[in-house]
Amino acid sequence: MSSGGFLKEMQTIGEKFLLKLQKLPKADPVEIVSFCVILLFIVTVLVLMVIACSCCCYSCCSCDGRPDHRRRKIQVRPTAH
């Protein structure tokens, strides 16, 4: 997908979302609750993705951007008897 097509699709989704928000005060209570549940689900997924990415980046790169060589796995060899 080209960047122009992606931007057009995001604009379309944004316009639909804005239209839905404008109609929300006149909507049925069931529709309001379902919209809030869907919105809460989307926000939860985004927050969990940010947490997962930050934890992964922190374990690989540390905070200052340099790799932490102390956390490197060490291969254990059996002792000779």
AA identity, residue 65: G
Domain boundaries, the chain: 28-60
Q: What is the pLDDT of residues 29-44, one digit of tens each?
A: 998 899 889 989 999 9
Helix, coil or strand: residue 68: coil
AA identity, residue 17: F
The mean pLDDT of 3-32, rounded to a whole number, is 89
Q: For residues 55 and 49, is the Cβ–Cβ distance under 8 A?
A: no
- pTM exceeds 0.85: no
